[in-house]
A and B are shown apart, each in its own frame.
Chain A
Amino acid sequence: MKTTISLTINGKPRTVAVEPRLSLADLLREELRLTATHLGCEQGVCGACTVLIDGEPARACIALAITLDGAEVRTLEGLADDPLMSTIKAAFQEKHGLQCGFCTPGMLISSWDLLKRKGALSEAEIRVAMSGNLCRCTGYQGIVRSIKAAADQRPAAAPEAAR
């Protein structure tokens, strides 16, 4: 039996009918055709499906859509015009931060959240903070270099106030 929920996705109000077992990831990809959110493991391990729920990073594959009535969801599509995300994307291009690109949406969202929350970052801190995002190409050197470059490029490297 489907239940109707209302939520905001990338700034647009949406009303959708969902089965209780539908994940947010499947809602985004299959119902709404927002395919920047990638599905890897579907059990909360790989981080490819990381999105922002009410401004905080979360795994879309283990968030049941029905629990998100009233929530504000932002995917990579919804950060297309975000200045920080543009900086991160440029750094990923410049520093070879992706190979096949499958893990990239999750890497981008997690690093966006990291850079929002933290000031100056060492390589070791980046590696710990990004440990929940797996790259099966094992392109971690380039990913870490990209995030470090984006962190260093930020004006005055001032984090937003902790949420």
Chain B
Amino acid sequence: MKPAPFTYHRATSVEDAIAQLSDPDAMARPLAGGQSLVPMLNLRLAPVGRLVDLGRIDALKHAEDQGASIRYGALLTHAAFEDRRVPDGSNGLMPHIGGQIAYRAVRTRGTIGGALALADPAADWLTTVVALEGEIAIAGAKGRRTVAAADFVVGPYMTALEDGEIIEAIVVPRRPAGERWGHYKATRKTGEYADSMAIALNDASSRNVRLVIGAADGAPLVMVKAAAACAQGANRGRVASLLHEQLAASGRDFAPAKLHLHRTTALRALQQAGLS
């Protein structure tokens, strides 16, 4: 037995979970799939007085196709995306991402909402939902609100979630049918957290390009200038120098090698999406 003692509450509904988490004296934390939180408990890195298990709240486990967008319950597992048990509006990007997070034995239990709430800068879903221009649906004692994925993360392991709030769903707009995507991830070992990752989206019909770099020591970086240049047909050298400029000016203090790595993953993602 590795963790320090804590009490356990199996939440029966979103409202019940919020009530349990809102107790200021309890040092309560929500448990989703537990694939990051339980290792932290085992290592005694995360102090917890009361664990509020969201795992039996059925309302958090469904995906709903809303036409222009798809609403994914926060407790859907990475494997649910990998196995295409939920609708996809991303031309296969989300199933691809779900299938390469960690390992199968982690993907069967780890959840999209849990990964986003932890907000490890290198989390795959974080970069993905920012790239796809998704929204995070949040529920708390004061009611419900929605935050753009790009505004959800405020720093490493820091999110817009306030005490007693949980992620209820992730709403991802359906992407244009002809849009191509590219994804490149640099890791030291298959399944490990990324040293750098990039996602590029290329909708040739509207000449719209979107490029996001993740594992960037904070919120994913949306590379607006390089994407716009790509859309206008800039050559690889020009795009590379724009990437370099924006990374250097991002205030993230990247070491030269890390800056080079981010630029390289971005260029490879663009190339996979049929650009430069």
Contacts and interface: CB of A to CB of B under 8 A. Distances in A.
Q: Is the interface of B mostly helix, strand, loop or mixed?
A: loop
Contact of A21 (B41, B53, B55, B108): B41
Interface stretch (A87-95, A127-135, A141-149, A150-158): A127-135
Q: Is the interface of A mostly helix, strand, loop or mixed?
A: mixed
A114 B102 CA distance: 15
Contacts of A53: 108-109
A162 B8 CA distance: 34
Interface residues of A, number: 37
Nearest to B79: A56
A133 B39 CA distance: 16
Contacts of A99: none
A57 B104 contact: yes
A78 B21 CA distance: 38
B105 A63 contact: no
Given A43-B42, A44-B38, A62-B34, A67 B55 contact: yes
Interface residues of B, number: 32
Interface in B3-51: 3-8, 10, 31, 34-35, 38-39, 41-43, 51
B250 interface: no
Nearest to B7: A20
Given A1-B7, A21-B41, A131-B191, A26 B1 contact: yes
Contacts of A113: 104-105
Contacts of B235: none
A64 B34 contact: yes
A97 B122 CA distance: 34
A43 B3 contact: no
Interface string A78-120: 0000000000000000000000000000000010011000000
A53 B104 CA distance: 13
Given A62-B35, A62-B39, A63-B38, A44 B79 contact: no
B66 interface: no
Contacts of A73: none
Contacts of B83: 162-163
Interface in B82-130: 83, 102-106, 108-109
B31 A20 contact: no
A72 B79 CA distance: 18
A132 B105 CA distance: 8
A47 B103 contact: yes
B190 interface: yes
A22 interface: yes
A59 B105 contact: yes
A62 B104 contact: no
Contact of B6 (A21, A23, A110, A114): A21
Contacts of B108: 53, 56-58
Given A43-B42, A132-B104, A63 B190 contact: no
Given A19-B1, A47-B105, A58-B105, 18 more contacts: A20-B8, A21-B1, A21-B2, A21-B5, A21-B6, A42-B2, A43-B39, A44-B38, A50-B105, A57-B105, A57-B108, A58-B108, A59-B35, A64-B34, A67-B55, A131-B191, A132-B105, A162-B83
